[in-house]
Amino acid sequence: MDGQQVSVIVAAVFIAVLFADRLGGSAALARRVYQVSLGLVLALAVIAGTNAFIRPPELPVDALSSGDILTGGSPEDLDPNVLEDFANKASESATVRAGAAILAIVAGVAMLQRYKVTGLGVATGGLILVLFSGSGIGASCNGGAFNTGAPSLSFASEGRDIAQFVVLLVGSLVMAGYGVWRWDNRTDGEPDPAPTASL
Give the count of beta carbons closer than 10 Å to the beta carbon of residue 192: 14
CA distances from 185 to 32, 34, 88, 142 (A): 17, 16, 44, 51
Q: How far apart are CA 122 and CA 140, in angstroms?
A: 31
Residue 185 falls within a domain, yes or no? no
Asked if residue 183 belongs to a domain, the reply is no
Residue at 193 is within a domain: no
CA distance 82 to 95: 20
Domain membership flag for residue 87: yes
197 within some domain: no
How many separate domains does the chain show?
A: 1
pTM, two decimal places:
0.71
The reply to whether 107 falls in a domain is: yes
pLDDT tens digits in sequence order for the chain, 199 residues long: 556 656 766 776 677 666 655 556 667 777 888 988 899 899 999 999 998 998 877 766 555 554 445 555 555 556 677 778 888 888 888 889 989 999 999 999 999 989 989 999 999 999 888 877 654 433 333 333 333 334 566 677 888 889 989 999 999 999 999 999 988 886 554 445 444 444 4
- Separation between Cα atoms, residue 44 and residue 31, nearest integer Å: 20
Residue 21, pLDDT score: 57
